[in-house]
Amino acid sequence: MNDNRAIISINNLTKTFGDVVVAVDNVTIDIIEGEFFALLGPSGCGKTTLLRMLAGFENPNEGRILIDGQDMVGIQPNRRPVNMVFQSYAVFPHMTVAENVGYGLKVDGVNMAEARPRITEALSLVQLDGYEDRMPDQLSGGQRQRVALARALIKKPKVLLLDEPLSALDAKLREQMQLELVRLQQSVGITFVIVTHDQDEALSMADRIAVMEDGRVRQLAPPSELYEFPNCRFVADFIGKTNLFKATTRGTEGSNVILEIKGLGEVAIPFKGQAENDISIAIRPEKVRLSGTEPSGDAIKISGKVIQVAYYGDESHILLENPTGVVITANVPNDSREAQGRIVEGDDMWISWSAADTLVLTE
């Protein structure tokens, strides 16, 4: 990242459709030059609308977009220094791979002699060497996507926009393309902005992620911060799996806040912010320990019966219910072949976790 210069500045951007639908609601984001940025959220959260405003296919009702310091108001998509890879790839079916990739050069009036080597170069960038004369209907879905990528990258955009680029691929190929997109982004050094609803995709690829809900950005942070320190219930719940409990504030004690959790009793958890009455605590299911006897020490603990064991191969998810009806999930790694079957439904067990791993969520 080159000295944190913002390549895209989104200021108070709002987009409404008709009078009722607010797709993007007062969004302010700075995207830094050279980073891999992800817009993450459930469908209908406004992430695609935001991306289409960056590309110029939608006009904002309010706010500004600066790309490389230039105000984008009234600038048509064909004059913007960004290129987009569409969800459907939209590889022109009546053109060969080379014609597709060279399309952006052709409309710019670049002559064939100059375009040829650049097409070859762009195709080798996406590992499609020698595919120049194929027709799109002879390509697989993954290859079509590479063509779409090469077609956008050949224009050397300041920012590459990707709209759900991996959603049409099968699971294995998707994983492979995630790694390849990161490699590609690092080798070309262009800022990538990707829209996705898949948290794994965002976490594994992006340098920073903006989590969106109902047109607003709920949290903007690097992946690990987003996962370990979500700032609200929505983010904690949307990113990964989490055990959420409603709590009531009972007071403070040094740097700890004393909370009463229904069915769990009072616990002291380190917390810096302002504790209000409407508060929740969250604990990730892989950060809890499962034991047959009461754990010693001052960990937060809960005992109950195992009500369900879900086997996922690499790990098992164990649901425990305590006598007051509180249900908590623990993810247990199946770290040996014999691990499976060690815990069965109906077992009486303890779940415990350290106060330091507990998240306190005020929103």
Closest approach, Cβ 23 to other proteins, in A, equals 17
Q: Which residues of 113-134 are buried (b: 16+ CB within 10 A; e: fewer)?
A: eebeebbeebbebbebeebbeb
> Is residue 200 a contact point for other proteins (CB under 8 A)?
no
Closest approach, Cβ 85 to other proteins, in A, equals 9
In order, the DSSP letters of 18-83 are TTTEEEEEEEEEEEETT-EEEEE-STTSSHHHHHHHHHTSS--SEEEEEETTEE-TT--GGGSSEE
| Centroid of chain to Cα 304 | 34
- Stretch of 8-16, 144-152, 187-195, 323-331 contacting other proteins, by CB under 8 A: 144-152
- Stretch of 16-24, 30-38, 83-91, 124-132 contacting other proteins, by CB under 8 A: 83-91
> Is residue 121 a contact point for other proteins (CB under 8 A)?
no
> Is residue 103 a contact point for other proteins (CB under 8 A)?
yes
Query: Binding residues for other proteins, how many (CB under 8 A)?
Result: 26
For 38, phi then psi, to 5°, come to -120, 135
User: Which member of 20, 107, 113, 356 binds other proteins (CB under 8 A)?
Assistant: 107
Nearer CB in complex with other proteins: 106/246: 106
Calpha distance 11→66 (Å, rounded): 8
> Is residue 159 a contact point for other proteins (CB under 8 A)?
no
Residue 350 CA: distances (Å) to CA of 266, 290, 292 = 17, 6, 6
Q: Which residues in the 264-303 window bind other proteins by CB under 8 A?
A: none
Q: Which residues in the 39-68 window bind other proteins by CB under 8 A?
A: 55-57
Calpha distance 331→318 (Å, rounded): 6
What are the residues binding other proteins (CB under 8 A)?
55-57, 76-79, 83-84, 86-88, 90, 92-94, 103-104, 106-108, 137, 148, 151-152, 155
